[in-house]
Structure 1
Amino acid sequence: MRKGEKTKQQIIIMATDVFNQKGYFGTSLTDIMNATGLKKGGIYNHFENKEELAIASFDYAIEVMTQTYANAIKGKKSAIDQLVALFSIYENVIEDPPLKGGCPILNTAVESDDTNPVLREKAQEAMSKWLRLLQVTIRKGIKRNEIRPTVNIESLSSFITSTIEGAVMLSKLYNTNIYMKHAINNLTEHIDGLRVR
């Protein structure tokens, strides 16, 4: 990687935490300059504008989350164990989130809902990827006779996602992991109840 590409990647990595904590509109150029240690020209030498940097940072955040998902399910044999491992990524969402600021999909979806169609589309793509991961895992569980075949795959993946994202929001709002712990416990019980006995 050449020096310019390395600098660009470093800017993306450092800006990711800022965007994920402050949001697109809440992040100023000064915030990015403070995080990177670069002046305005040093940043705009690599990015046309703040939106281009925000999109690159979101893409990087999703790469980090995708790797986190892969690491969580690595070595887990059953689909149920894999699903529980995916829930557990957010177990300590306050003190030790996968990314500073919480879930980048949730943060971006809420902020860009009606204001930034490009970021909104990025959030939709990332959420679709997450839902597909859940659906593939559930489908494998059904195929291997671990999960009951009567389970509605789309409905279950939507339920899991809504529960986790809601728990992230509540935990962040009240600055306590208790809501996430409740969510994980209930999801784990629910998934366990879908086992083929």
Structure 2
Amino acid sequence: MTKGEETRQRIVELAAPLFNQRGYAGCSIADIMEATGLEKGGIYRYFESKEDLAAEAFKFSLAVVRKLRTDDLDSISGSVEKLRHIMDRFVSEPSPLKGGCPLMNTAIDADDGNAALRDLVQQAFTDWRRRIAAIVRQGIRDGEISTSSDPAELADTIIASLEGALMLTRLDGNKRALKHVRHSMELLLAAFTT
């Protein structure tokens, strides 16, 4: 990695928690300058715009959280166990980034203001749905999950339940909602398991 690439990566890593905590509109270039120790020109030397930096910061944040929660998924055998693992990690492993889940934060932040970020969030949710649905389809093929299961419906239910519980957890200041959803998801899996 060249010195310029290292500097660019350092800016992204330092800006990511700022965007995650404050949102796109709430995070100023002055905040990023303070965090990085760079002047405005130093930042714009590596990024075309604040929007460009915010997009890279989101991609970085998402990769950090995805690695934490799914990095070891290939070592788990069985589709039902993989789904349980995804849910367990979501409940037990909070985002290591200040501000919490970058996917939820950015989805809320960009829903009606920043088309580029909204597109990135939409792609991230689409990818998450695709990955969970693929696990469900494999479970159906392997005879672990009932053939009457709809992989897309189950993926949406899992994601919406986990993200909704995360929001309640943040509002309540405790993990009760996440634990309740984890229990409910276990019951749901039991209903679909053959």
- What TM-score does the superposition give when structure 1 sets the normalisation length? 0.91
Query: SS where residue 193 of structure 1 aligns?
Result: helix
Cross-structure match for 2:171: 173
Shift of 1:98: 4.3
Q: Which residue is 1:32 aligned to?
A: 32
Is the contact made by 1:80 and 1:192 (CA closer than 8 Å) also made in structure 2? Answer: no
Cα displacement string for residues 34-54 of structure 1 (whole angstroms, at most 9, x for unaligned residues): 322323222122112211100
Name the structure 2 match of 1:123. Answer: 121
1:58-69 matched pairs, under 5 angstroms: 58-69=58-69
Aligned to 1:144: 142
Question: In the TM superposition, what is the alpha-carbon distance from 1:25 to its structure 2 partner?
Answer: 0.9
By how many angstroms is 1:72 displaced?
4.2
**Contact 2:129 2:159 (C-alpha < 8 Å) held by counterparts:** yes
Equivalent residues, number: 194
Distance 1:182 1:68 in 2: 22
Q: What corresponds to 1:80 in structure 2?
A: 80
Shift of 1:181: 1.2
Counterpart Cα distance in 1 of 2:167 and 2:136 = 25
Task: Report if the CA contact (8 A) 1:171-1:178 is conserved.
Answer: yes
Does 117-126 or 38-47 show the bigger shift?
38-47
Q: Could you tell me the percent identity over the aligned residues?
A: 36
* Regions of 4+ moved over 6 Å: none
- C-alpha deviations, 1:56-103, integer Å up to 9, x for none? 11121222233234324232101111111111222246xx42433222
What SS does structure 2 have at the residue aligned with 1:90?
A: helix
TM-score (norm 2): 0.93
Residue 151 of structure 2 corresponds to 153
User: Equivalent residues in 2 for 1:83-102 (5 A)?
Assistant: 83-92=83-92, 96-102=94-100
Structure 2 gaps, min length 5: none
Aligned ranges 1:45-56 → 2 under 5 Å: 45-56=45-56
Q: Which residue of 2 aligns with 1:108?
A: 106
